[in-house]
């Protein structure tokens, strides 16, 4: 069982719709990342958060540490938002070294004009 | 001006060959990573280096040997290539929390990926 679960796997929306992508994880983490992979393959880091909420333009990421859950929201979606959105968590590590990132399987978003 | 650059972008080779993928970052980060993205688009960590020192080595065949000559470079050498090695390999870098000087610490910056096809 993958330790990071994303939902939905696929999402089709009309331009202008409000989008929510969810990510759940299983144990304590030190950080959670949201990544965007463009149709061309390039990966961009959107957010890194360990608590609360972050906003950048039309993108909002929230995390609830108690519920082990994070959401990525896109307001006023646009066809150029079409991409795969990947959640990744860094579990708390031991011995002082950095924990490695565990990735979700991604959510493929298509926004239709 | 690319922050994390990988070469080559595409690599097609025969089974049994040895090949290398190079990665360089000009962000001043102290940690670099290699990730493998399989045909199902699932990303998985392979290696992580912090200040030229190996800190993560996931269950990767020892045909894969990372080399970090300095903290700006992390190269991946693969011996005796197999069909199952076909994938996109992403290099990334970040600044570790220990070296944190700004709120962007530990944010990953990815290279464009290197698509390896083994025939």
Residues with pLDDT less than 50, chain A: 1, 94-98
Q: What is the pLDDT of residue B23?
A: 97
Q: How far is A89 from chain B (nearest CA, A)?
A: 12
Q: What is the pLDDT of residue B106?
A: 60
For residue A61, give both structure tokens: 């990421």
Report the distance separating Cα A64 and Cα B64, nearest Å: 38
Of B42, B58, B115, the CB nearest to A103: B42
Q: What is the pLDDT of residue A94?
A: 46
| pLDDT averaged over 10-residue windows placed end to end, chain B, 119 residues | 90 97 94 90 87 76 91 95 96 74 63 95
Q: What is the pLDDT of residue B97?
A: 61
User: CB–CB of A100 and B88 under 8 A?
Assistant: no
Q: Which of B27, B2, B18 is nearest to B76 (CA)?
A: B18
Minimum Cα–Cα distance from A49: chain B residue: B107
- Let me know the angle formed at the C-alpha of B53 by B49 and B55, rounded to the nearest 5 degrees: 55
Q: What is the pLDDT of residue A13?
A: 97
Over its C-alpha atoms, chain B yields an Rg (Å, rounded) of 14
- Which residues in chain B have Cβ-Cβ distances shorter than 8 Å to A101? 45, 108
Report the distance separating Cα A92 and Cα A100, nearest Å: 9
User: CB–CB of A98 and B88 under 8 A?
Assistant: no
Strand A10-14, strand A107-112: pairing: parallel
Residue with token string 């962007």:
B104
- Which residues in chain B have Cβ-Cβ distances shorter than 8 Å to A84? 41
- Which residues in chain B have Cβ-Cβ distances shorter than 8 Å to A86? 43
DSSP-assigned letter for residue B91: E
Torsion angles phi and psi, residue B15, rounded to 5: -55, 145
Whether the Cβ atoms of residue B23 and residue B6 lie closer than 8 Å to each other: yes
User: CB–CB of A100 and B48 under 8 A?
Assistant: yes
Length of chain B counted residue by residue: 119
Q: What is the pLDDT of residue B39?
A: 85
Report the distance separating Cα B18 and Cα B15, nearest Å: 9
Q: What is the pLDDT of residue B27?
A: 92
Q: Give every CB contact of residue A100 below 8 A, 6+ residues apart in sequence.
A: A90, A91, B45, B48, B56, B58
User: CB–CB of A45 and B110 under 8 A?
Assistant: yes
Q: Give every CB contact of residue A108 below 8 A, 6+ residues apart in sequence.
A: A9, A10, A11, A83, A84
The three-state secondary structure class of B84 is: helix
Q: What is the pLDDT of residue B99?
A: 47
Q: In a mutagenesis test of the A interface, which of B2, B25, B40, B43 is the best target, namely the one with the most A β-carbons within 10 Å?
A: B43
Whether the Cβ atoms of residue A71 and residue A14 lie closer than 8 Å to each other: no
User: CB–CB of A105 and B42 under 8 A?
Assistant: yes
């Amino acid at each position: 069982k993958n330790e990071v679960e994303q939902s939905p796997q696929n999402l089709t929306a009309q331009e202008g719709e409000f989008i929510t992508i969810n990510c759940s994880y299983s144990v304590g983490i030190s950080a959670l990342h949201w990544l965007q992979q463009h149709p061309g393959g390039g990966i961009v880091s959107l957010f890194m958060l360990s608590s609360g909420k972050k906003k950048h333009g039309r993108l909002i990421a929230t995390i609830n540490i108690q519920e082990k859950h994070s959401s990525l929201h896109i307001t006023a979606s646009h066809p150029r938002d079409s991409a795969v959105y990947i959640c990744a968590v860094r579990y708390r590590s031991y011995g002082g070294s950095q924990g490695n990132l565990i990735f979700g399987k991604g959510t493929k978003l298509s926004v239709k004009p | 001006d690319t922050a994390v650059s990988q070469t080559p972008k595409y690599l097609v080779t025969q089974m049994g060959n040895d090949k290398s993928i190079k990665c360089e970052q000009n962000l001043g980060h102290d940690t670099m990573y290699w990730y493998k993205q399989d045909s199902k688009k699932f990303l998985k960590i392979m290696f992580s280096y912090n200040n030229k020192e190996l800190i993560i080595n996931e269950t990767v065949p020892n045909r894969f040997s990372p080399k970090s000559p300095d903290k700006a470079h992390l190269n991946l050498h693969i011996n005796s290539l197999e069909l199952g090695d076909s994938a996109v390999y992403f290099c990334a870098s970040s600044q570790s929390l220990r070296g944190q000087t700004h709120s962007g610490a530990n944010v990953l910056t990815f290279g464009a990926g290197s698509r390896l096809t083994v025939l």
